[in-house]
Structure 1
Amino acid sequence: MSLSELSRRPRGLALFLIIAGVIGFGAAFALTLDKIHLLENPDAQLSCNFSVLIGCSTNLASWQGSLFGFPNPLIGIAAWSVVITIGMAILAGAIFKRWFWIGLNVGVTGALVLVIWLIIQSIYVLDVLCPWCMVTWAVTIPTFLAVTLYNLKSGHIPVPAFFRRRAEIAYSWIFVITIGCYIVVAIFAQLQMDFLHRL
């Protein structure tokens, strides 16, 4: 492998994808186990149920929890496994083609759209915050930001140089942008659910 190829490997992104993937996979796996417990015993008391406001039973039992006809956590198990594999492949020396990066971007964009929809359903319809779901939200948001901004700044997504430079700047501020997104979600949850007074 040449030095230029080594320099083009986004090792930081790879490490992030692995860490985010492991966290997301863990949350999806825990939710899948809880769903199995509910199927075995609809009255089961799950470890993720802390109060009327914070728990996962309501989400898992709702139609929103099986949007495509099967439990949503199964999507997470499959998707986060792919994310982990991509991160490991990059660390192992893989150099992906542009079409691959765009495909990954389509995937994380779809994940973000689904997560936004689930956030809206949790806050405005189900009136409950699922702990493991929130873990999934928490890693999906920065994963979308990291992949999208990397693709913009590296030219995988063709944009004018001005936008590439802005994406490069934003890429170094992903942590701050992510915290800002968390704050926005928390504000909407507080305004709708008044969760601070209901904890």
Structure 2
Amino acid sequence: MLRTAGGSRAFALLVLLTGAAGLLASWVITLDKFKLLENPNFIPGCSLNPVVSCGSVMKSDQASAFGFPNPMLGLVAYGIVICVGVSLLAGARFPGWYWLTFEAGCLFGICFVTWLQFESLYRINALCLWCCLAWITTILLFWYVTSFVVRNGFLPAPAPVKTFLAEFAWLLPVLHIGVVGMLILTRWWDFWTS
């Protein structure tokens, strides 16, 4: 018989809320991108200063990595995440192939977000607040889904790793977000302290 797994209510809510936050970020960025296309002089509301400058990020080549605006990818991807979260809340149980596919999507998301973080910090030289929200939601989603998939045996791992992920699943996303925060802080240290 095909082994299936469903998540706890807390896990389902985390998946749903990260999906909703990512969708909100993607939606706002998409709307601002349309306004920017209509009027090249449009300044998004989240362009607060030379560092927090959503407009600079939206005008960059990296903002359309696949030939279309990145947030349009987010509209689809985070919509799928919301569907998974709602299904889990309704009591759905999915087979291993489904969880591994979902994990592969999360892996793609974290790799893409990591590249965007690097580009934003060291090539574009600006931050977008809505992008930062998408980064945080993707980091949380990736680490919690990875923990779930490993703990349920869909990805092989030694027993100590499973135990660690069962007890300290929160630690990896906190460390990851902390590292990104420190990179942002050190990248613009002079700006923040002047």
Work out whether the TM-score is over 0.5.
Answer: yes
Which TM-score applies when normalising by structure 2?
0.92
Alpha-carbon distance in 1 for matches of 2:88, 2:9: 7
Contact 1:27 1:133 in 2 (8 A): yes
Alpha-carbon distance, 1:8 to partner:
5.0
Q: Which ranges in structure 1 are unaligned for 5 or more consecutive residues?
A: none
Q: Deviations over 1:130-167 (max 9, x none)?
A: 11000101111110010000111111112232322222
Q: Which amino acid aligns with 1:23?
A: A
Instruction: Please name the residue that 2:193 is paired with.
Output: 197
TM-score where L is the length of structure 1 = 0.90
Are 1:188 and 2:186 matched, yes or no? no
Q: Equivalent residue for 2:161?
A: 163
CA contact (8 A) 2:6 2:91 kept: no
Partner residue, 2:71: 73
Change (3 A) 1:186 1:69: same
2:20 maps to a residue whose letter is: V
Query: Deviation digits for residues 107-134 of structure 1, max 9, x if unmatched?
Result: 0011000111101011111111111000
Residue 32 of structure 1 is matched in structure 2 by 30
Task: Tell me the distance in 1 between the aligned counterparts of 2:158 and 2:44.
Answer: 51
SS of 1:157 mapped into structure 2: coil
Q: Contact between 1:28 and 1:73, CA under 8 Å: does it hold in 2? A: yes
- Root-mean-square deviation (Å): 1.6
Residues 48-87 of structure 1 aligned to structure 2 (within 5 Å): 48-87=46-85
What amino acid does structure 2 have at the position aligned with 1:100?
Y
Alignment-derived partner of residue 172 in structure 2: 177
SS of 1:190 mapped into structure 2 = helix
| Structure with bigger RCO (C-alpha 8 Å, 6+ apart) | 2
Give the conservation status (yes or no) of the 8 Å contact 1:17–1:143: yes
1: CA distance, partners of 2:60 / 2:161: 41
> Between the two proteins, what is the percent identity of the paired residues?
32
Paired letter, 1:196: W
Cα separation, partners in 2 of 1:8 and 1:25, compared to 1, 3 Å: closer
List structure 1 segments (4+ residues) > 6 angstroms apart after TM superposition. none
Structure-2 change in CA distance of 1:114 and 1:50 (3 Å):
same
CA contact (8 A) 1:109 1:144 kept: yes
SS in 2 for 1:90: helix
**Unaligned runs of at least 5 residues, structure 2:** none
Q: Distance in 2 between matches of 1:182 and 1:154?
A: 25
Q: How many residues align?
A: 190
CA distance 1:119–1:9, change in 2 (3 Å): closer
Give CA deviations for 1:26-78 in whole Å, capped at 9, x if unaligned.
00000000000000000012111111110211111111000000000001110
